[in-house]
Amino acid sequence: MNDTDYMARALALAARGKGQTSPNPVVGCVITNGGQIVGEGYHQRAGTPHAEVHAIKQAGERARGGTLYVTLEPCAHRGRTPPCVELIIAAGIKNVVAAVADPNPLVRGQGFTRLQKAGIEVKTGVLATAATEINQPFFTWVVHRRPWVLLKWAMTLDGKIATATGDSRWVSGPVSRNQVHRWRHEFDGILVGIGTVLADDPRLTTRLDGENGCNPVRVVVDTTARLPLTAQVLTPEAPTVVAVGEQAPADRLAALAAKGAQVVRCPVNSAGQVEIGFLLRQLARDGLTSLLVEGGARVHASFLQGGWADRAAVFIAPKIAGGAGAPGPVGGVGVARMQEAWQLRKCSLTPSGEDWLLEGVLQEVNPCLPE
């Protein structure tokens, strides 16, 4: 095995922490000595020991003189846990191989510098692309101070998300719906518009087949505070944020707060809609690093037009709904020319039961070059 193989193992370990570590990144670590893996671990939950701590503890004395592989630069500051670089130095590690630097100003470069000053050889850039992709939520949160956003919708072959009568259950099949619940388990928040709530009364919780899932924070964009007090998104099984306009009726806001919702007053744009950028910054301040957007056409358009969407995931069902009045997935004014259309890159197309899942990147954050 070589550096790439060991880092691939570290990345696989890091993936186990998805949905559990926010607002921290997911991190995996492998320690080798004499060509053998002697310790490994991953960051399991925010506030608990980091990946390096688990790996060094498992390796014990075998860590001395070994090589440590880690998917993100080791921390050099004291937060809720001690700095990992001090533990690495004390363990007698000889070499550190890291995939990418940490863009956090409290860490960036300082971890590598501290290790090098202690005589430890540092190598970076091994599987950097994969390490960047797995931590896009954390990097976006640190660099842009907003959650990383995935737009998700399901549509028919003719591009409809519902019939002309508004019926949308179900566009996609059970395999696709279960994938959405896995995403809900991994994301900090899930966002819909008030139109979706009024039409479908969703719970927006995680329901995995045979598994327990973590429920995301539920976010409803509701400019005029029309959310019914009996709506399922107000059940106590998960927190709920209701984003309203500044002119929303005070009595409605008080009633929503009495039901346990966190009401966020937002400025509105020229179209009379909640300003998405303001809302995203507020969610980031509350510690949300990732947001799954399952809104209707109007909400999707707001995210695309504002440049707030980072990735799209579209389930395409082998069905034809027809109907000139049947809704499509993106509303708003759209673009005037095809060359102005939002372009997905790094696209993939995979089967999802009877459906197909098309995924692509709208924009990325490079942690080594923060904007």
Q: Which residues are catalytic?
A: 52
Angle, in degrees to the nearest 10, between helices 51-59 and 3-15: 120
Dist CA 76 CA 55 (whole Å): 17
Handedness of CA 191, 195, 196, 201 (dihedral sign): positive
Half-sphere exposure of 293 (CA within 13 A, CB side): 27
DSSP state of 193: E
Nearest Cα neighbor of 13 from 140, 179, 134 is: 134
Handedness of CA 351, 357, 362, 364 (dihedral sign): negative
CA distances 198 to 6, 10, 268, Å, are: 50, 44, 21
CA distances 262 to 166, 218, 219, 220, 256, Å, are: 29, 10, 9, 10, 8
Query: DSSP string of 84-99?
Result: HHHHHHHTT--EEEES
Angle, in degrees to the nearest 10, between helices 297-306 and 276-285: 80
First-last CA distance in the chain: 36
Half-sphere exposure of 313 (CA within 13 A, CB side): 18
- Per DSSP, the three-state class of 135 is coil
Six-digit token string for 311: 């990735």
